[in-house]
Amino acid sequence: MIDYTQNLDQPVRNALTDNHQNERKLTFLERLYIPEILKGMAYTFKQMFKPDVTMRYPEERWDPPAIFRGRPVLVKDNGKERCVACGLCARACPPLAISMQAAETDDEKERFPDFFEINMLRCIYCGFCEEVCPEEAIVMSKDYDLVYHSRGDAIYDKERLLVDKEDLKDRLDFLKQYKNRQFGQFWNFKEENNIHSVRNRDENWDTGLSLVDMLEAKNKESKN
């Protein structure tokens, strides 16, 4: 242990001493080095006959699994964005990469983002935006090779962010499973639940109950 009372101008003894637990004495053969070099060469020779694990990028491209978090994108559902411009994703985003402006519409969902931007120079691919979105409107895509020619290029507007839901099927299916594992005891996560409207919000929702009370009420209902 370092004695902080000592003169700090003096060099402190390195913690890696002969007594260090991870150190061990080399055997005679190891000290000769030649057997170790031969062992290394044999290992390299063995690897030469194994299948390649590297890819010839960009000619060959890696298809990441559904759990992969690439560039965040907005989900386009039947030609329209699912986003209702609630602002939760912008609020949750640690580096403040998301900005948007809400506008009203006569559609069932009532609101939509007039503009929606993600500054990809700030994004840290944390997935918080996806996690908090109540509409499954922003998800992490498989897009991983991003190149920009200028700082302005890295700011993705709504048009560049929108991706058809059919192209995001893997991730949306993964999220369905993932969210049901987390919240399945309270509600069954379904895509059709994605349209939340304040016009009919209170029809089936008793705002006086906590989630635990709601679960109890639901259990009682199912027993009767």
Is 148 annotated as a binding-site member? no
Please list, in sequence order, all residues whose beta carbon lies within 8 angstroms of the beta carbon of residue 148, skipping any fewer than 6 positions away. Answer: 120, 121, 154
> Closest approach of Cβ 172 to ligand SF4, in Å?
14
> Closest approach of Cβ 102 to ligand SF4, in Å?
8
Which DSSP letter does residue 168 get? G
Interface stretch with ligand SF4, choices 26-34, 132-140, 149-157, 174-182 (CB under 6 A): 132-140
138 sits in which H/E element: strand 138-140
Q: Are 117 and 90 a contacting pair, CB within 8 Å?
A: no
Is 199 annotated as a binding-site member? no
How many residues contact ligand SF4, by CB under 6 A? 28
Is 126 annotated as a binding-site member? yes
Say how far apart CA 118 and CA 90 lie, in whole Å: 9
Say how far apart CA 183 and CA 116 lie, in whole Å: 28
Is 186 annotated as a binding-site member? no
Considering Cα of 139, then 145, then 150, then 153, what sign does the dihedral take?
Answer: negative
Q: Which of residues 39-78 bind ligand SF4 (CB under 6 A)?
A: 72
Interface stretch with ligand SF4, choices 34-42, 120-128, 158-166, 172-180 (CB under 6 A): 120-128
Say how far apart CA 212 and CA 221 lie, in whole Å: 14
129 is an interface residue for ligand SF4 by CB under 6 A: yes
> Closest approach of Cβ 32 to ligand SF4, in Å?
53
3-state DSSP call for residue 182?
helix
Q: Which of residues 77-106 bind ligand SF4 (CB under 6 A)?
A: 83-89, 92-95, 97-98, 100
Is 129 annotated as a binding-site member? yes
Residues near ligand SF4 (CB under 6 A) = 72, 83-89, 92-95, 97-98, 100, 118, 123-129, 132-133, 135, 137-138
